[in-house]
Structure 1
Amino acid sequence: MLVDTGACERNVHLCHHGRSEPGCGDCAVRPISVCSVLTLPELDQLEALSQHLTLDKGQTLFGQGEPADFVFNVIEGCLRLTRLLPDGRRQVMGFALPGDFLGLALQERYTVSAEALGHVRTCRFDREDFAAVTEANARLLKSLHDRARFELTLAHDQMLLLGRRTAEEKVAAFLLSLKDRFARIGHNSVTVELPMGRQDMADYLGLTIETVSRMLSRLDRAHSILLVPGGVRLLDQDRLERLAAS
């Protein structure tokens, strides 16, 4: 296994694709990733440029302000995307799930930090190498544009969450949004995994951790959800949707 200098500072594991690793053609997230539009020969070309990067809980994929030298495809796990404000406060900007592509912004430095919330596997590409492949493949370029539109939709949803909704409406909307995102990767269940903690949810929704806990308990008592280890079960999705639409 090869480890580069930057990865070594964070004690993450970096390796080139090998026979023990599934290739791009067998990747579990290929159907929902930007590379889904590529043919097998084109995937082979992309695979030659890629490296697998593995992180444990709490390790950082990249930090805010670091040179944006790489782009990443999330294969497994969940990452918390945060921005440190000038006054030292932390704002959670979002959560990256399998199939998400990170580092596509045009800035020369990452505007957020990406931290693993558990075991995470990503596929890493040198940004310039990936840009060259993209420029030569119109279908991949369109796929990236579609991904950018999806991320813009998530950003708009975040703006609505931080708007004039009540705390209960914010929590309901967050749970439904997370359910929809998990459904995109084939986890279509009434039980929604919560890889993030209550504080992460609070920082994302612009609430306090006490308020988030209180709203989850209120929804649980109202039989709208059932709190279970590691997540929530959506018992009354119609009511949650009414709250989210308020």
Structure 2
Amino acid sequence: MANVLGEMNAAATLQSPCDDCDIRDLAICGALRTNEVQRLNRIMTTMDLAAGDPIVDEGEPSDFVYTLTTGAVRLYKLLADGRRSVTGFLFPADFLGVSMQHTYSTSAEAITPVTLCRFQRTELGRLMEEIPTLERRLFARATEELSLMQEQIVLLGRKSAAERVASFLRGLSERQVKRHLPANPVSVPMTRTDIADYLGLTTETVSRTITQFKSKDLISVENASRIRIVDRDQLDDLAEAN
């Protein structure tokens, strides 16, 4: 009987928030062994935020690193003249604050209700020294973040409005697939103004372009936050133009 109780207690000890996480294989804990996950859990706290809640502010000390487990987040910078530039969007399994800068380079705000895993940077740094797999995982995600930034530079510098919107929709679809979700319909939780601020367009241009895509049967709009890609080949042709 004592042995059975001991096994039950050991199993309970091994349980962690990661056990029921839908994106565990994509998050930093996905490549870790059970004992390593337990060590990571000891320095992790879980945060639940409502839509519109701030997560970090540009310029404040980057004391924490975050993994988004549910919901969507916008990243943005405020320009000197007061205008806002959206620099990216985060979805489940994405990271915030991975780059080893002393301050956050952007502000982050919840678009929808979100859940995040938060890690104190210095504690995570010490654990990375002891668990090389963790360090490699974070480095890979930082590299992906850099790649997305480079894609946005091309998006803003060389493409027409229609090409930018097509690229954006295709990108959202591809990111869904990476999260083990269907490519269609595409979830669009951000506002048209968010999209415009990300693509360097006006809200009116984004709305007009989406209407044009509908009239040409490239897409169908199921509701304000769900768009179905109808003609993938034509959308891809637009997205790949430069």
Superimposed CA distance per residue, residues 175-234 of structure 1 (whole angstroms, 9 cap, x where no aligned partner): 000111111112123200101000000000000000000000000100000011122000
The equivalent of 2:229 in structure 1 is: 234
Question: After the TM superposition, which residues 95-244 of structure 1 pair with which residues of structure 2 at under 5 Å, given as runs?
Answer: 95-229=89-223, 230-244=225-239
CA positional deviation for 1:87: 2.0
Does 37-46 or 27-36 show the bigger shift?
Answer: 27-36
The equivalent of 2:26 in structure 1 is: 32
How far apart, CA to CA, are the structure 1 residues paired with 2:149 and 2:27?
Answer: 19
Calculate the TM-score normalised by the size of structure 1: 0.89
CA positional deviation for 1:149: 1.4
Aligned partners of 2:161 and 2:209 also within 8 Å: yes
Judging by fraction of residues, say which structure has more helix.
2
Aligned partners of 1:24 and 1:44 also within 8 Å: no
CA positional deviation for 1:22: 5.8
State the identity as a percent.
39
**Which 5+ residue runs of structure 2 have no aligned equivalent?**
1-12
Superimposed CA distance per residue, residues 135-193 of structure 1 (whole angstroms, 9 cap, x where no aligned partner): 11111111111111111111111111101211000000000001111111121232001
How far apart, CA to CA, are the structure 2 residues paired with 1:27 and 1:42?
Answer: 16
Could you say if the C-alpha distance between residues 46 and 142 of structure 1 is closer, same or farther in structure 2, counting changes exceeding 3 Å? same
The equivalent of 2:37 in structure 1 is: 43
Aligned partners of 2:219 and 2:230 also within 8 Å: yes
CA positional deviation for 1:25: 3.0
Larger radius of gyration: 2
How far apart, CA to CA, are the structure 2 residues paired with 1:39 and 1:22?
Answer: 13
CA positional deviation for 1:35: 2.0
Question: After the TM superposition, which residues 32-111 of structure 1 pair with which residues of structure 2 at under 5 Å, given as runs?
Answer: 32-111=26-105
CA positional deviation for 1:39: 0.6
CA positional deviation for 1:50: 0.6
Moved over 4 A (4+): none
SS at match of 1:152: helix
Aligned partners of 2:16 and 2:41 also within 8 Å: no
Aligned partners of 1:53 and 1:122 also within 8 Å: yes
CA positional deviation for 1:34: 2.2
Does 180-189 or 113-122 show the bigger shift?
Answer: 180-189
RMSD between superposed Cα atoms in Å: 1.5
Does 202-211 or 185-194 show the bigger shift?
Answer: 185-194
Does 146-155 or 51-60 show the bigger shift?
Answer: 146-155
SS at match of 1:187: coil
How far apart, CA to CA, are the structure 2 residues paired with 1:113 and 1:147?
Answer: 19
